Structure 1
Amino acid sequence: MKILVIFTHPNHKSLSYAFLQKVVKGASENPNIKELQIVDLYEEKFNPLLIFNENKRRRNMHLDPDLEKYRKQISWADKLVFVYPIWWGRPPAMLLGYIDQLFSSNFAYKENGGLLSEGLLKNKSVVCISTMKGPTKYPLFYLNNAHKILMKKALFKYVGIKKVKFFEFGFMESPKGNHEKKLSKIYQYFKKIDL
């Protein structure tokens, strides 16, 4: 199995970064995982801005040479792992900009004239690891599960990815947030995971 981790947090001293390290550690001890690559969007200074003009057309995003490296990484991977905080009930703008540009027509999906597209990333699976300041159940009870609906239904299902696993960790800025227990959970998951 080949894993691509998309990490989205500007601070390498953050809890999100600690979760990234547990993904890497667990994966390194898992015989089912052959290779792992990391995309650190802030570290790489990924440009999340969509630019459309006479030279850059939306319909040609799947050919944009500036994004070729990232398209190759997604194509290469069996499993995509997203590590990010939840800010204002959704992933950071940096990650949404990555999604806007990479999950493009004729790369991630193809219009077929029907209500839904044909997903072109069918053989992949996804794990989303997110942290938030508020309670773990906050997105479910106060935001009608908007985060999961956005990621699972509006994005991954549309591009053909059906297997999506979520880890949503709340109270992460509290000393009572059980950080070590949650970090261990991610480590153990990636130590044992298979396709």
Structure 2
Amino acid sequence: MKTLIIFTHPAPESLNRSFLNSAMEGLSSNMGSDSVEVLDLYKENFNPALVFNDEKRRRSMSKDPELESYRKMIQRADTILLIYPLWWGRPPAMLMGFFDKVLSSGFAYKQTEGKILPEGLLKGKRVICVSTMKGPKGYPALVLRNAHKVLMKKAIFNFVGIKKVKFFEFGSMESPRGKQEKKLEKIKDYMQKLKPV
């Protein structure tokens, strides 16, 4: 089982980094460190901005050589673990730009003549989303009607063929009473017990 962790937070010493460390510790003890690959989008200086011109056309994105290494990472992975904060009720623009550029037509999905919806090409994988927020845990469900989960599960991952999507939404992360250690331990424990897809 190969796991790709896509980490998206600009602060080197953030709580998100602690979640990354907990996840890696759990995964390494479960399946060995060789089976875990980490993509830190900020450390990578990933450019999330789409550019279309005479050299870069939307229909050619799945063959863009600048994105080839990321496509290979996703192809290798059985499990894609995303660790990110929720800002304005959604993942950071850096992560959304990664999806815009890498999950392109011809790689992540294809349109078949005569069918209304495209066919997802990333079947057989699973996604685990670990997100943090300053607000209370129930905020996305009560105020935003689970917009974050709908976006990630339905609009992105189900669309590209990934049906197994698990969420961990941790709130009150900046509160001294936020029970951060228990939350970190929960992720470590989950990764230690993770079974093949």
**TM-score, normalised with respect to structure 2:** 0.97
The answer as to 2:11 corresponding to 1:11 is yes
Q: In the TM superposition, what is the alpha-carbon distance from 1:115 to its structure 2 partner?
A: 2.1
1:191 maps to 192
Q: Secondary structure at the match of 2:160?
A: coil
SS in 2 for 1:30: helix
List runs of 5+ in structure 1 lacking aligned partners: none
For 1:75 and 1:19, locate their aligned partners in 2 and report how far apart those are by CA, in whole Å: 24
* Further displaced range: 108-117 or 56-65: 108-117
Residue by residue over 1:41-90, the C-alpha shift from the partner in whole angstroms, topping out at 9 and shown as x without a partner, is: 00010000000011100011000000000000000000000000000000
Stretches (4+) displaced over 3 A: 31-34
Shift in Å, 1:125? 0.3
2:154 is paired with a residue whose SS is: helix
Offset at residue 31 of structure 1 (A): 3.4
Name the stretch that deviates more: 29-38 or 101-110.
29-38
Which whole-Å CA distance do the structure 2 matches of 1:44 and 1:144 have between them? 33
Deviation per residue, 1:7-46 (Å, 9 max, x gap)? 0001120000000000100001103886010000000100
1:43 lines up with 2:15 in the alignment: no
Contact 1:83 1:130 in 2 (8 A): yes
Unaligned runs of 5+ in 2: none
Separation in structure 2 between the aligned mates of residue 81 and residue 115 of structure 1, nearest angstrom: 30
CA contact (8 A) 1:16 1:84 kept: yes
1:1-195 to 2 correspondence within 5 Å?
1-31=1-31, 35-113=35-113, 114-195=115-196
Q: Is the 8 A contact 1:32 1:193 kept in 2?
A: no
Deviation string, structure 1 residues 142-186 (Cα, Å, up to 9, x no partner): 001100000000000000000010000000010111000000000
Percent identity between the aligned chains?
57
Root-mean-square deviation (CA, aligned residues, Å) is 1.1
- Give distance in 1, aligned partners of 2:171 and 2:43: 25
1:120 & 1:80 partners in 2: Cα distance? 15
| Count of matched residue pairs | 195
State TM-score, norm by structure 1: 0.98
Local SS of the residue matching 1:148: helix
Rounded Cα–Cα distance in structure 2 between residues aligned with 1:183 and 1:12? 17
Q: Distance in 2 between matches of 1:54 and 1:141?
A: 45
